[in-house]
Amino acid sequence: MKTTTSFDFLESLIVLSCVVGFGYTLYSFLTFAASQLDFVQIIFAVFIWVIAWQIIGAVLFFAYRLGSGRLFSKANK
């Protein structure tokens, strides 16, 4: 008997890949450009990076749930 959880394996992989991708791209950007930016520009860049990766994660979640047929199922209500 399969139990229903809010996160399954593929959703966990999506979250993990987004977190790792976010961390890696932010680290590579900051090590490359930190010497040329002041504090306000770095904070703004981090904010934009967070927004971009949240959008990427939301699109991946939506596409996965839509593709798996779980977006409009009664089990998620």
Domain boundaries, the chain: 9-69
How far apart are the C-alpha atoms of 50 and 3, rounded to whole Å?
33
Going by pLDDT thresholds of 50, 70 and 90, the confidence category of residue 2 is low
Which residues lie closer than 8 Å to 37 by C-beta, 6 or more apart?
Answer: 45
Nearest to 42 by CA among 54, 32, 56: 32
pLDDT bin (cut points 50, 70, 90) of residue 74 is: low
CA 8 to chain centre: 16
In this structure, the number of other CB atoms found within 10 A of the CB of residue 13 comes to 13
- pLDDT of 7-54, one tens digit each? 677 777 777 887 888 788 778 877 776 677 777 887 887 788 888 878
